[in-house]
Chain A
Amino acid sequence: MEVSYDKESRKIVQAIERFARKHSLWVLAYGTGCGAIEVPPTMTSRYDAERFGIRGAATPRQADVLLITGYLSVKTLKRVIRTYEQMQDPKYVIGFGSCTINGGMYWDSYNTIKLLDMYIPVDVYINGCMPRPEAVISGFIELQKVIAEGKAEGARKYKENLDWYRANQQKIIHNWNMPDYNW
């Protein structure tokens, strides 16, 4: 059931929603890449990402941000897709490290993907091999800016172009035995 609001009140609600989303990012760190080692210092006392409302989430259902820390092999990509589809809207993805951008040092590997945004939509990339915690926090602040502008539309893009994403995913995952999640 769609509830119709008048434009002004909708605007105010949206502003509050965006402010809350921006200041409360619960992170699901997918830590199979080398970058997982940069996440603990980001969260703990030296760099303390909780200052910005960034907090770890225990399960995909509770998370807002999927942090892909480094390279993904075909096997882990399958799990990432499953995790991403279990997350609830609005959801964002941060690609972390060179490997998610262009393959990094695994550019000629037979088993790692080179371009993360062909398989799941990425809102913010953090480059570096590995990015230091300062860079990670600056990436999160960039994501906050994108959310405040209302441009973090990765999940919507994924839903609209699902066939294209599915074709790319099934090009490398041959044995597609995953359930369909009803978002």
Chain B
Amino acid sequence: MEVKLQVENEILDKIKHTFHSAEVSIPRKQRVEVKLRNDLIHPFLAYLKDTLGFKHLSHISTVDWLEENEIELVYIVMNYDNLVEVIAKIRLDREKPEIPTLREFWPQIETYEREIHEMYGVNFLGHGNLTDFILEDWEGIPPMRRDFDTVKYAKETYFNRPGREDAQDVRTTITKKSGEEIPELAKVYSVRHLE
């Protein structure tokens, strides 16, 4: 096992040697996970791209840690030579999430950053084009944050077809019509708790 993870361990050593404060781990083969300080993401990705050859930005993902009052950005970059992916994670303050843009490294990152800005309210400094993307004229808290109540918002904003607004369970309706009984075992799965 140790021999197989040779490439990953080399990368891990190099990262640890350069960025002392980073927490680096290897969750599985071809994957290196790095937890960083906020201000280090810029030099870290520059180091990965220019020195270690991680030329491909796969994705930016976002996680809303409501309980810890933090928003986590997950940058996934890949190396074409050894097919290792590095997952760089940073945590921003949830009340005022701000981070400099990475447009000078990967121009295509603009689209991801616009979407994250719209869905989570993260402000990318120096981006220059953080305008409406998918949602037009959105007011209020960004919809992908966990304290946003989707069902309540949908019920208040849009018209609902009568008979649909209480999200009836299809199985209950069918059994009521046909006169069958739901087995005890299945009852747990057939009742949906929305509220």
Contact = CB atoms under 8 A, between A and B. Distances in A.
A–B: direct contact at CB < 8 Å: yes
Interface of A: 73-75, 78, 101-103, 107-115, 118, 168, 171-175
B139 interface: yes
Contact of B164 (A102, A110, A118, A175): A102
Contacts of B160: 102-103, 107, 114-115
B159 A114 contact: yes
Interface residues of B, number: 18
Contacts, number: 59
Say whether chain B's binding surface is mostly helix, strand, loop, or mixed.
loop
B40 interface: no
A115 B136 contact: no
A103 B143 CA distance: 18
Contact of B150 (A78, A109, A118): A109
Nearest to B144: A110
Nearest to B148: A110
B158 A114 contact: yes
Interface string B164-182: 1001000000000000000
Interface string B129-149: 000001111010001000010
A175 B167 contact: no
A101 B161 contact: yes
B191 interface: no
A132 B141 CA distance: 39
Contacts of A111: 134-135, 143
Nearest to A74: B136
B189 interface: no
A173 B136 CA distance: 8
